[in-house]
Structures are given as structure tokens and as C-alpha cells.
């Protein structure tokens, strides 16, 4: 029985967005049934993004962990290095059908921003990306890439100057430019139809996991593990398996540095029902309903809310939520780099940390699949700092001198 | 609707008088509870009332005010950092309501959602508020319906917020449940100090009057007496907000009274 009888999701937005969201919903519904749209989307996924992405059998990690067979669904093999490009392509095509000239987006780590900028360039659309000024400082390489892709970056100078403020600013800009701009929301959240729409595009991940595993192992996985910020790669990985009751679905949130408010970004630890940025879900917030500060070493998980469909699946018990700390995430990157030759993004490393915990407890003939939402290139500077790598520090000094 | 609703007395019975038969448009002045501090915001309210505001719009600050421009977003943030809480804002409301001007409470939906809608509406009603404005809670959501019912039970107007571009079909839906007045943004966008009134605004206000049969309040972007004069031509209520935040920032709370006088002169 559901512990939460309230319907999550919805569209809690100013009236000026009513018509825009209605038209977007209608276009999404018609595109789903349109063979032309489907073939264009599939073609871009295959011949631009590089799908299907590989399902890696982590043979050495499996042996080392001594339990379940470990597979990694490598979404990092996508063009631009993460799962984000999938829903950007879908939304970009919808934006063109709606006659929009511009994509706008928020970004935290810069992954969704780079993906949106890339798709805008590919489809011939203008692009404006909103980014907290704190994140701009932390993620300069992605800012540089977006600018090279022809995108305008708008720094957000108020609030916590991070992802949630970038969403606020993108929403405001959208409300002023509804005729020309499509807001390419970067996760399975925001007002309807965004959570459903992005999950629809991302659900290709789960379908590929199923068919790849069927081909090679002739059975379903016993567990699917994915990191959860807003939940785009998690919903994409889980959706296919929701009716398969034998498959455990485990979302791994950012445990940060501790369990006090402001030290983590885990709704399992402290999420409460609320309404924020257009949707009803679980949020980190104060007793009075102010949105609380969050922390994670991975900018992509550093956000107070979780997608409403995922919150629903969690409250009714179908999806389990857990968390990994900053330190566990960094250590998991190192572990899979050394054993499997895979350098994961810090976000995805939260899922890998959970695999290290559960695989040894599972029988040897069982299968656990972890979705590697993105590759670690973007975290080069963060990794170097986390490992206190002195040669990298020296390199940066030299590089500065070379300018 | 009880006769103790001071906004109703001010506007007259909207179903018959529409408030438009009066000689001048009313002036609604916006302020943020706890900005720049809790104590000083009480002085802001006094100055607004003394300066000649007819209605005071009191915003309970929310951490992420989606429909507000940078001026009010930053001020809300500063108010919260300076110690503004929902509890203190509600205590302030009681004092502001005693100044003898009708008060409309504005906030974002997560605040009353967490407080409990019924308890929230009862509390602001008891404190003396006449109207409630929640721009991110459409009437046809579960929460919107709950707010409509609770407001009705407590003699509180629940004010719809619309702007040019909202289609007639939607306005007609909203009109079924609207009471008090209609809050209209003057451009397709957010609050701020760029006083470029949308071309289609005047036609839109006319459409609103026909659709809602209620007084129309127009705001967002008012910064000078010329702006006020321009809006008065069509609006029953002229709203000004970020201008006062800017005055507090640049000249201090003591300049608020003169600013109101200047705006409505």
C-alpha cells in the first residue's frame, strides 16, 4: 500500500506557462505516434550519439567482490560523455516541431549544458545556458566547451549560485521568451510533461540493458543500480524493469560528508513532501518549507529535489533509495579504474560504490547492473584535487605560465 | 465573504460596483516581510501606509521565488538570511493589518503547503489579511482547489495571477473561481524595474475586465509616476514592488514614504 496517497508531479507554475506546457504536452503525444519523429530520433541516437551503449562485464571486479556478476551499462560512451544527450536530442526535435528557434537550459556540472549546446548546434538552434556563478568557477572546462559550441552562458549571481538557482533563472528567461525558446529541462523533473517526457526518452537505457543481458546471459538482472540526482539515468535504467518484480531497483543518492542538513543531497535521509520548481515531490527543506542547502562532491547530484515518478516509486516501495558518501564515491572511481579500465564520473561513482557493498552479499549466479551515467573526463580537476595529486598541481602552474 | 474583509469594503462589492466607478485607481504597494530586517520592514509598512498606498501586498519570503525578478529574489534571500521566518512574517502581518489598509499576502505554494493550507488561511485571516496571492499554485491543482475552498470558508480572496498571452479559454476557467481582483503582470515575464509595458497589455486588461467582471490590478515593472499614470488609464489597481526594494537598497527605509507620494502624485 502506498504510504503517500498524494499524487506527485503536476504543474505548479505561473499561468503564463499554462499554454506553453499544454502545447508541449500535445506535441510530445503526437511525436510519440509519429513514425517520422521516431525514425529521426533513432537515427540521431544511433549515428550521432553512438547508441546502443556497451554493457561491460566487469570480470575482474566480479572476481574481486566475490558475489554477483557485475555489469556496467556505459552511458559514458554516448557523444558528450553522459546519458544527458538522449533527452536533449528528443527535446531538441520537439522544439523544432514547435517552431522554436532557441534551446535554453540550466546546468550544474555542465554535462546537461554541454549536451544541450551540442544538440542546439547539431539541429541549428540558438542556445542559452544558465549556470550558477559558483558552478562556473568549479566547472570552467565545460563552460569553455559550451562557448566553443556557440552557446551563451548566463551566470546566476543570487541564492546559492548553484543548480537550483540556475533552474529559477532559466524558468524566468523562458517566461519572457515563450514564443522563441524551448526550455530543455535536464532531468526527470519540473512541471508536467517534463518528468514523463525525459523518462520516455531515457528509457532506452533499460531496454538496452534487458536485450544485451538476454543475448548474453538469457535472463533478467537481479538488481539495477543507478545514481540519483534528479533521476534521469535512474528512471531511464529502471523503467523497463518496474513490472519485473524479481528485479531490485536501487537508486543511490549523494551522502556528501554527513547526515546533517547542508552536508548531503539525500532525500532518503531528510526528504519531505513539498512543491518546488513546478512539481510536487520529496525535497530537502526546512521545517517552514524553505528549500535547504545541499552538498555533494558531484555537482550533478547537488540538488534538493528528486523526480516525482522516482519519488512515487520510492514511497510505494518499488524503488529502494540509499546513499554513498563523497569519500565512497571517490574510492569507487579509483577501484573501477584500476580493475576495469573505466574512469567514471563522480555522479555515477555513487552507484559503483553501492555495487561494491551489495555484490559480495549476492549469490554467484546473480547479476547486478550499475548504470555508469557518465564518464569521468569532466572531473579531471576534481579527481586531481581529491587525490591531492601534486604533479597535476605542478602541471596547472606550468600551464598557467605557458599562457 | 464576510463584511470584515477590508478589501471588500475598499473595492466595493465586485459583483455590482467593480470598484471602477470611483474617481481614481487604487495603489497597491508591495513589500517583503523581513526586508531589510524584521524591525525595519515594519517601518516600511508604516511608510507605505502613510505615503498613501491603498492596499499593502506583503510577501512572505521564499528561498526560491520563481516568478520574481532579481531585485525581489535577492531581497527575499537577504530577508531570510537576516532572520525572516514564516512565523515572524505572520506576526508582522498582524501589525501591518492594524495600519488600517487592506493587506494581500503573497507567497509561494511550498510555504502554505508545509504550514497546512487550512491553518495558513485561518492564521492570515485572523491576523487581518483580506487576500492571498500564490503565483505558482494554479486553481485547478489539488492544492489550488483546497486553497479555494479554505479561502472561501474564511472570507479570504484568492487572487489569480495572469499575464498577456494567457488564452481566453484559460481565463474563462479561472474566472469561475476568481474573487476580489485579478493580478495582471504588465509584460510576459517577471517582476523588475524595466518599465516597458507590453503593447498588448491594454487590450488584454480590457479582455480581463470582460471575462472576470472583477477589478484588475496591473503591476510588474512600475518605477515612476509616469508608469503609474500610464497604467491608471486601464487598471483599477496599480501595483509597484521592486521600486521600493531599490529605494531601500540605495536610499534607505526613510525614503519610502516620499517615494509612494511621488509615485501616486
pLDDT tens readout for residues A204-239: 999 999 999 999 999 999 999 999 999 999 999 999
**Distance, CA of A206 to CA of A55 (rounded, Å):** 11
Please tell me whether residue B140 adopts helix, strand or coil conformation. coil
Q: Choose among A279, A287, A286, A203: nearest CA to A242.
A: A203
Distance from CA of A383 to the nearest CA of B (A): 32
Cβ pair A19:B166 closer than 8 A: yes
Instruction: State mean pLDDT over A29-50.
Output: 98
Domain ranges of chain B: 6-11+19-264
**Distance, CA of A99 to CA of A361 (rounded, Å):** 53
A353 Cβ neighbours under 8 A, 6+ residues apart? A252, A324, A325, A328, A329, A331, A332
| pLDDT confidence bin for A377, thresholds 50/70/90 | confident
| pLDDT confidence bin for A317, thresholds 50/70/90 | very high
**The pLDDT value given to residue B217:** 95
- Tally of CA atoms within 13 A in the half-sphere of A8 that contains its CB: 27
Greatest extent of chain A over all pairs of C-alpha atoms, in Å: 64
**The pLDDT value given to residue A300:** 87
According to DSSP, the residues that pair with A224 across neighbouring strands are A249, A369
**The pLDDT value given to residue A109:** 80
Please tell me whether residue A366 adopts helix, strand or coil conformation. coil
User: Quick one: how far is CA A243 from the chain centroid?
Assistant: 23
**Distance, CA of A281 to CA of A277 (rounded, Å):** 10
CATH topology classification for A50-81+198-386 = Rossmann fold (3.40.50)
Instruction: State mean pLDDT over A247-267.
Output: 96
Residue of B90, B165, B220 best to disrupt the A interface, most CBs of A under 10 A: B165
**The pLDDT value given to residue A147:** 97
Nearest by CB to A14, from B135, B143, B187: name it.
Answer: B135
Q: What is the dihedral of CA A174, B157, A8, A180, to 10 degrees?
A: -10
**The pLDDT value given to residue B222:** 85
**The pLDDT value given to residue B15:** 45
- Tell me the residue ranges of DSSP E strands in A18-85: 55-57, 69-74
pLDDT by residue, tens only, chain B of 265 residues: 445 678 887 887 554 443 444 557 899 999 999 999 999 999 999 999 999 999 999 999 999 998 888 889 999 999 999 999 999 999 999 999 999 999 999 999 999 999 999 999 999 999 999 999 999 999 999 999 999 999 999 999 999 999 888 999 999 999 999 999 999 986 544 444 344 555 578 889 999 999 999 999 998 678 889 889 888 888 999 999 899 999 999 999 999 999 999 999 8
ipTM metric: 0.93
Residue-by-residue DSSP string for B85-104? -HHHHHHHHHHHHTTSS-EE
**The pLDDT value given to residue A385:** 87
CATH architecture group of domain A15-24+84-191: 3-Layer(aba) Sandwich (3.40)
B209 sits in which H/E element = helix B201-212
Residue ranges of chain A whose CB lies within 8 Å of a chain B CB: 6-7, 10-16, 18-19, 158-159, 164-165, 168, 171-172, 175-176, 178, 272-278, 283, 285, 287-291
Helices (H), A49-139: 59-65, 84-97, 111-123, 133-138
Length of chain B as a residue count:
265
Joined together, the cell numbers standing for residue B30 give: 508591495
Catalytic site residue A49?
Answer: no
Tell me: the pLDDT tens digits for A81-117? 999 999 999 999 999 999 999 999 999 888 899 999 9
Residue ranges matching CATH 3.40.50.1100 in chain A: 15-24+84-191, 50-81+198-386
CATH topology classification for B6-11+19-264 = TIM Barrel (3.20.20)
Amino acid at each position: 500500500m502506498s504510504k503517500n496517497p498524494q499524487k506527485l508531479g503536476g504543474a505548479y507554475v505561473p499561468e503564463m506557462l499554462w499554454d506553453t506546457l499544454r502545447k508541449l504536452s500535445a506535441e510530445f503525444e503526437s511525436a510519440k505516434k509519429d513514425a517520422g519523429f521516431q525514425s529521426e530520433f533513432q537515427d540521431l541516437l544511433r549515428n550521432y550519439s553512438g547508441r546502443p551503449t556497451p554493457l561491460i562485464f566487469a570480470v575482474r571486479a566480479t572476481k574481486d567482490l566475490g558475489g554477483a556478476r557485475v555489469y556496467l551499462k556505459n552511458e559514458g560512451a554516448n557523444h558528450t560523455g553522459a546519458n544527458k544527450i538522449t533527452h536533449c536530442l528528443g527535446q531538441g526535435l520537439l522544439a523544432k516541431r514547435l517552431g522554436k528557434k532557441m534551446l535554453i537550459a540550466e546546468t550544474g556540472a555542465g554535462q546537461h549544458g554541454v549536451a544541450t549546446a551540442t544538440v542546439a548546434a547539431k539541429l541549428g538552434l540558438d542556445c542559452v545556458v544558465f549556470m550558477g556563478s559558483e558552478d562556473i568557477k568549479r566547472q570552467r572546462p565545460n563552460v569553455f566547451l559550451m562557448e566553443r559550441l556557440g552557446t551563451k552562458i548566463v551566470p546566476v549571481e543570487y541564492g546559492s549560485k548553484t543548480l537550483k538557482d540556475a533552474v529559477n533563472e532559466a524558468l524566468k528567461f523562458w517566461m519572457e521568451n515563450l514564443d522563441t525558446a524551448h526550455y530543455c529541462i535536464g532531468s526527470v523533473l519540473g512541471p508536467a510533461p517534463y518528468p514523463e517526457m525525459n523518462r520516455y526518452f531515457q528509457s532506452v537505457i533499460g531496454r538496452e540493458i534487458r536485450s544485451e543481458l538476454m543475448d548474453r546471459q538469457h535472463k533478467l538482472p537481479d538488481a539495477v543500480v543507478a545514481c540519483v540526482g534528479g533521476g534521469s539515468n535512474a528512471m531511464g535504467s529502471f523503467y523497463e524493469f518496474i513490472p519485473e518484480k524479481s528485479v531490485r531497483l536501487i537508486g543511490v543518492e549523494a551522502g556528501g560528508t554527513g547526515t546533517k542538513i547542508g552536508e548531503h543531497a539525500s532525500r532518503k535521509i531528510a526528504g519531505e513532501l513539498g512543491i518546488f520548481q513546478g512539481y510536487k515531490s520529496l525535497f530537502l527543506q526546512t521545517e517552514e518549507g524553505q528549500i535547504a542547502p545541499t552538498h555533494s562532491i558531484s555537482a550533478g547530484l547537488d540538488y534538493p529535489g528528486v523526480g516525482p515518478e522516482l519519488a512515487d516509486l520510492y514511497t510505494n516501495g518499488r524503488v529502494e533509495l540509499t546513499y554513498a558518501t563523497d569519500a565512497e564515491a571517490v574510492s569507487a572511481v579509483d577501484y573501477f579504474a584500476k580493475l576495469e579500465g573505466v574512469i567514471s564520473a563522480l555522479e555515477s561513482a555513487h552507484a559503483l560504490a553501492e555495487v561494491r557493498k551489495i555484490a559480495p552479499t549476492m549469490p554467484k549466479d546473480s547479476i547486478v547492473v550499475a548504470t555508469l551515467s557518465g564518464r569521468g573526463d569532466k572531473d579531471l580537476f576534481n579527481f586531481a584535487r581529491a587525490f591531492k595529486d601534486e604533479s597535476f598541481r605542478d602541471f596547472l602552474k606550468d600551464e598557467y605560465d605557458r599562457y | 465573504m464576510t463584511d470584515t474583509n477590508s478589501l471588500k469594503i475598499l473595492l466595493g462589492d465586485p459583483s455590482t460596483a467593480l470598484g471602477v466607478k470611483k474617481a481614481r485607481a487604487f495603489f497597491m504597494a508591495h513589500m517583503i516581510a523581513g526586508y531589510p530586517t524584521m524591525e525595519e520592514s515594519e517601518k516600511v509598512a508604516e511608510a507605505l501606509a502613510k505615503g498613501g498606498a491603498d492596499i499593502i501586498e506583503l510577501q512572505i519570503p521564499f528561498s526560491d521565488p520563481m516568478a520574481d525578478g532579481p531585485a525581489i529574489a535577492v531581497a527575499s534571500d537577504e530577508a531570510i538570511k537576516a532572520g525572516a521566518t514564516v512565523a515572524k512574517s505572520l506576526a508582522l502581518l498582524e501589525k501591518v493589518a492594524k495600519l488600517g489598509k487592506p493587506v494581500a499576502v503573497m507567497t509561494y505554494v511550498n510555504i502554505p503547503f508545509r504550514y497546512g493550507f487550512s491553518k495558513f488561511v485561518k492564521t492570515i485571516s485572523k491576523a487581518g489579511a483580506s487576500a492571498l496571492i500564490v503565483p505558482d499554485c494554479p486553481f485547478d491543482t489539488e492544492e489550488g482547489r483546497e486553497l479555494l475552498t479554505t479561502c472561501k470558508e474564511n472570507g479570504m480572496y484568492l487572487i489569480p495571477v495572469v499575464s498577456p498571452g494567457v488564452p481566453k479559454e484559460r481565463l474563462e476557467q479561472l474566472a469561475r473561481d476568481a474573487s476580489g481582483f485579478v493580478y495582471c503582470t504588465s509584460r510576459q515575464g517577471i517582476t523588475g524595474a524595466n518599465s516597458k509595458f507590453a503593447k498588448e497589455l491594454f487590450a488584454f486588461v480590457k479582455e480581463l475586465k470582460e471575462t472576470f467582471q472583477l477589478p484588475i490590478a496591473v503591476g510588474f515593472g512600475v518605477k515612476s509616476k509616469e508608469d503609474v499614470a500610464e497604467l491608471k488609464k486601464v487598471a483599477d489597481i496599480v501595483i509597484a514592488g521592486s521600486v521600493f526594494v531599490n529605494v531601500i537598497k540605495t536610499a534607505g527605509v526613510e525614503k519610502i514614504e516620499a517615494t509612494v507620494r511621488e509615485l501616486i502624485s
